[in-house]
Every structure is written in C-alpha cells, then in structure tokens.
Homo-oligomer: A and B are copies of this chain.
C-alpha cells in the first residue's frame, strides 16, 4: 500500500536494525485519515471471504479494525490483555509472549462475542514474532469458529511471524512488509513473501 509506505518513510523512525517506531501515526498518536484508508484496504482484500467478525487485541489493533468493520458490516471484538484473567467460565483465553518486553500475558475474549459459525478476520498493527496472532488463533479455535485470514498493517519480514502463520495455511495480508531496517533505512519487500 503506497500511501502507508510513504508515511512510514516520512514519519517512521528506525531506532535499530530491529525497531521501527511509528508512534506518530499508528500506535500512540493516530492519524484517522491514513488509518481509515488502512482499515478499508484490509477490508477490500477480504471482501469475498464471508467475514462475520473482526478479532483484534488492545490497544493498537482497535483503530484500523473499526474502519475495516464498518466497511465489512461486522462487529469488532478486541481481546483484553491482563496479568491474570479473572476466573470465569465465560472466557476464551490464551497466553501471548512478548519478546520485546519479555513478559507473557493472558489474553481473553468473552464467549458471548465469538461463536461457532463465526468467520473471523484477525487484524493487528504489527506482525513480528507472530505471538499475538498465535494467541488469537487459539482463541478462535476454542470458540469453534473459523479463521478467514490475518490483516496486518506493518509486517517485519525479517522476523519469523509471517512465515510461521503462512505455513499453517493461513492467509496473511500485510499492507507493508519490511525487508530490512539496516543502516537506519527502511527497505520494503515488494510482492508476496516466499519461503524456501
């Protein structure tokens, strides 16, 4: 998505060969105009997938999900992160490990809002190690629902998440895939990733 790549080049900050900071428009300050375009682009890519629900995770997945949900005519559910989930028979839960923060969090979704028969589109801001998506996939499994695919704003193509999820046979649509952040420069991968 050219608009997004231009924005990353203009406003993103490469902090190291692993870290791209995009808090000027995506995950701290949010530019509603570009996030609307992003949400609609994700929705367009899954327009024929029969989506009945969008599943994301707090906090930065919520904004693009809203616009995708509006476009697809479906509700958005966001998984909550918490240190320890309140005991309740009414929750779907899984664990998500963050490599950057080196903490494992429980995430949870109420059974009321994700059910057998749902066709689910997962949306998140970043795909790096893929742990958040794996946690959301487990929650969809627990609900007996179906995963239609994953829509990602920025994929770090040099980290293993994308390969991990695609090799499960799950469709991943990333609007920008970063090949490298070496030498303080953002290099994008064009086209669809292939794996040996």
**Chain A residues in the interface with B (C-beta under 8 A):** 23-25, 28-33, 35-36, 58-59, 62-63, 65-67, 69-70, 75-78, 80, 109-110, 112-113
Q: Which residues of B contact A29 (CB under 8 A)?
A: 75-77, 110, 112-113
Pair A66/B35 contact, Cβ less than 8 Å: yes
Pair A77/B28 contact, Cβ less than 8 Å: yes
Pair A78/B35 contact, Cβ less than 8 Å: no
Pair B62/A30 contact, Cβ less than 8 Å: yes
Q: Which partner residue on chain B sits nearest A53 by CB separation?
A: B29
A29 to B62, CA, bound (A): 11
Most buried by B among A62, A69, A76: A62
Pair B78/A28 contact, Cβ less than 8 Å: yes
Report if A75-B28 is in contact (Cβ < 8 Å); known contacts: A36-B70, A63-B62: no
Most buried by B among A30, A31, A58: A30
Pair A30/B76 contact, Cβ less than 8 Å: yes
Pair B35/A113 contact, Cβ less than 8 Å: no
Q: Which partner residue on chain B sits nearest A25 by CB separation?
A: B75
A59 to B25, CA, bound (A): 16
A152 to chain B, nearest CB (A): 18
A78 to B75, CA, bound (A): 22
